[in-house]
Amino acid sequence: MEYRQISTDSAEKIGEGAHGEVYRIAEDTIVKVYRPTVSMEEIQREKQLARWSFVKGLPTAISFDIVRVGDRYGVVYEMLNARSAADYIKESDENFENFVSKSVELMNRIHSVEVMPGELSDMKERTIGWIGNLRKYLPADACDKLLKLLENVSESHTLLHADFHLKNILITGDELMLIDMDTLCAGDPIFEMATIYNSYMEFPCISPKAAEFLGIDVQTANRLWKRTLEHYLENTGEEEREVTKMAQLLGCIRIIDYADRQIGLPERDVILKTCTEDILKNL
pLDDT by residue (tens digit) across 186-230? 999 999 999 999 999 999 999 999 999 999 999 999 999 999 999
Global pTM?
0.91
pLDDT by residue (tens digit) across 89-146? 999 999 999 999 999 999 999 999 999 999 999 999 999 999 988 999 999 999 999 9
Q: What is the largest CA-CA distance in the chain?
A: 57
E strands along the chain, which residues?
A: 4-6, 12-16, 20-26, 29-34, 62-69, 72-78, 82-84, 159-160, 169-172, 175-178, 185-186
H or E segment and range at residue 37: none
Domains along the chain with CATH numbers: 4-80 (3.30.200.20), 83-282 (3.90.1200.10)
With bands split at pLDDT 50, 70 and 90, how would you rate the model's confidence at 236? low
pLDDT by residue (tens digit) across 17-73? 778 899 999 888 889 999 999 999 999 998 889 889 989 999 988 788 899 999 999
With bands split at pLDDT 50, 70 and 90, how would you rate the model's confidence at 232? very high
